[in-house]
């Protein structure tokens, strides 16, 4: 059975035991078909990241209700309901679109998979998963969490390590979303995978997640701070002496000479200034 992933929607399906379901992505955005209750995969099956035109198939051999979702867009959820049916002799992973049971007790020769059925295209355009790396000792760690990338300001020579803490896959890709610049690209980072890049040049570097183009941020790189030059200690400039006023000498009064005659047995009463010389003549 073929089912298309289109308009960001997964289909609810009802199939019988032994049916092979083929998912094909018809959207321009990448998707997955992953068993489990969003956002937790159950591990029963899971497609790689399917770009437009990519396909994935899985054969349901047991009855039951199987929830599945898209790890890139966790709100895309649906269910495959598998009901019991006659056992068929076709291989469990038969590439035919739908396995048709025969009413006979023995497998009919016609049920052998034909070369035409085997030409079902394999999933294509699957990005190579980035291998986990150990961040350098001097790396700046930037966690990708809650569908958010961090704005960073660093100095030249700094190594930034991005680590994906979300259940959904992400990337750290340089450029203005959705166009990559080619400076760096992490590839797809699944949960707990990381990627490191060292910034050697000054500048402003926008980056984004190629899986979720709305996730954007910027790394701003500046030169290492140069030490401030040591200024010489200020030299104390001698203050010019304040001229002191020269003491003004009080001129000595010029001595006066007063003549006082002694005559007729009489002395004169005199009034003179300091320094006056009195000359008495008899």
Ranges under pLDDT 50 in the chain: 87-101, 103-137
| Model confidence pLDDT, tens digit, residues 88-146 | 434 444 444 444 445 444 444 444 444 444 444 444 444 444 444 444 445 799 999 99
pLDDT of residue 254: 55
- Please give the pLDDT value at position 20: 96
- Per-residue burial over 70-104, b if 16 or more Cβ lie within 10 Å, else e, is bbbbbebbbebebeeeeebebeeebbbeebebeee
Is position 248 within any domain?
A: no
Strands 194-198 and 203-208: unpaired
Owning domain of residue 112: 2-119
CATH of the domain at 171: 2.60.40.420
> Cβ distance 192 to 132 under 8 Å?
yes
Q: Which of 174, 203, 222 is the last residue of a domain?
A: 222
Do 197 and 105 share a structural domain? Answer: no
Total domains, the chain: 3
Q: Is the pTM of this model over 0.85?
A: no
pLDDT attached to residue 86: 55
pLDDT at 270: 85
Same domain, 162 and 259: no
pLDDT of residue 44: 92
The CA radius of gyration of the chain, in Å to the nearest whole number, is 51
């Amino acid at each position: 059975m073929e089912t298309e992933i289109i308009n960001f929607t997964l289909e609810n399906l009802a199939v019988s035991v032994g049916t092979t379901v083929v998912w094909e992505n018809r959207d321009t955005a990448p998707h997955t078909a992953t068993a489990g209750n969003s956002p937790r995969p159950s591990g029963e099956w899971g497609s790689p990241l399917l770009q437009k035109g990519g396909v994935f198939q899985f054969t349901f051999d047991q009855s039951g209700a199987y929830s599945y979702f898209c790890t890139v867009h966790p709100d895309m959820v649906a269910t495959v309901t598998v009901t019991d049916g006659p056992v068929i002799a076709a291989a469990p992973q038969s590439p035919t679109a739908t396995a048709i049971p025969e009413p006979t007790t023995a497998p009919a020769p016609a049920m052998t998979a034909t070369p035409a059925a085997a030409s079902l295209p394999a999933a294509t355009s699957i990005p190579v998963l980035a291998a986990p790396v150990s961040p350098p000792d001097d790396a700046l760690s930037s966690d990708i969490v809650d569908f958010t990338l961090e704005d960073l300001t660093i100095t030249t020579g700094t190594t930034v390590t991005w680590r994906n803490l979300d259940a959904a896959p992400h990337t750290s890709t340089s450029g203005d979303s959705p166009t990559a610049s080619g400076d760096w690209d992490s590839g797809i980072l699944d949960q707990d995978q990381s990627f490191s890049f060292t910034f050697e040049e000054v500048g402003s570097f926008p980056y984004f997640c190629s899986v979720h183009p709305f996730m954007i941020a910027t790394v701003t790189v500046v030169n290492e701070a140069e030490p401030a030059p040591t200024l010489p200690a200020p030299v104390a400039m001698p203050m010019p002496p304040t001229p002191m006023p020269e003491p003004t000498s009080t001129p000595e009064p010029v001595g006066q000479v007063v003549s006082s005659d002694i005559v007729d047995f009489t002395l004169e009463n005199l009034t003179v200034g300091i320094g006056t010389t009195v000359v008495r003549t008899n």
